[in-house]
Amino acid sequence: MTKPIIYITRKIPVELLKPYEDRYDFRMWPESETPVPREILRREAREADGVLCMLTEKIDEAFLSENAHLQIIANMAVGYDNINVEAANRKGIWVTNTPDVLTETTADLTFALLMATARRVTEASDYIKEDRWKNWSPFLLAGSDIHHKTIGIVGMGRIGKAVAKRATGFNMSILYHNRTRKHQAEKEVGVTYVPFETLLDESDYVISLVPLTKETKHLFNEAAFQKMKESAIFINVSRGGTMDEIALYEALQSGEIKAAGLDVFEEEPISSDHPLLKLDNTVCLPHIGSSSMKTRSQMITLCLDNIDAVLQGQQPKTPVRIE
């Protein structure tokens, strides 16, 4: 009997496939760094029963119409703005994501980026590498304190709550804004709900942890940056589309806000001539929020578990449903 076919859009460790090899025929794009070309993905999907994709793949209505036979698309990410979930739901195709398993790892990176930006860590490292350190001086590369400051978290989901817990260790005042109140987080962590404008006005650190939707696209725009303190630091570890990069660049260059730490960008990847890379007050990372060996392996395994469940006639563990 022919095994169901699963197409994987990026090269992953083959040992992660071993528990499923007796049930499925795995086919895989052989590159780990380069995304699968769309034409090849379309061709491979025609024969597949399920697809394990990355956030780099655009799974739009045209792709779904061509491949309405697919039973599941497992996205190796929490966010799913690369997939037209509504269209997939209409066609009876399951879409899954990978929540929970990356929460703590992404929160670690978020706080690491906050600290690196506030204390000018990468700038200080480059200072030595460029052989510019000649003497100690009292205000050499002086940065911003983190302890006892106010952090404003926009998006109090799992990762937002985990970041808030880390902030308590620095004795920070924690504000948050979310589409709905999170009373449990308020009780457990001591976070305070405020309107978006109040958060911008009062926070020393503004953290974007919202998913990219029609409502959150360019949420952090010119007006938002103008509302922030001149001493404020903006951190984005959600999706690049939640910020207007041109407005952010102008705010950083003019001193409207103090600094920014970014793990995401509007169009990824960015090149070395990107304007934000020219600014000393910006720390840029290549979208590595969940990038630890253990977490990335767990994300892949969750994708495979979801695919296995659906192809065995069961409900997946972490379905995405759009009402």
pTM: 0.94
Cβ atoms within 10 Å, residue 20: 16
Q: What is the pLDDT of residue 322?
A: 77
CA distance 234 to 220: 10
Instruction: For each of the domains in the chain, give its residue range(s) and CATH number, in order of start.
Output: 5-101+293-311 (3.40.50.720), 103-284 (3.40.50.720)
**Amino acid (1-letter code) at residue 230:** E
Q: Return the active site residues.
A: 239, 268, 287
Sheet holding 282-284, edge to edge: 192-193, 173-177, 150-154, 205-208, 233-236, 259-262, 282-284
Per-residue pLDDT tens, the chain, 323 aa: give them: 799 999 999 999 999 999 999 999 999 999 999 999 999 999 999 999 999 999 999 999 999 999 999 999 999 999 999 999 999 999 999 999 999 999 999 999 999 999 999 999 999 999 999 999 999 999 999 999 999 999 999 999 999 999 999 999 999 999 999 999 999 999 999 999 999 999 999 999 999 999 999 999 999 999 999 999 999 999 999 999 999 999 999 999 999 999 999 999 999 999 999 999 999 999 999 999 999 999 999 999 999 999 999 999 999 999 998 76
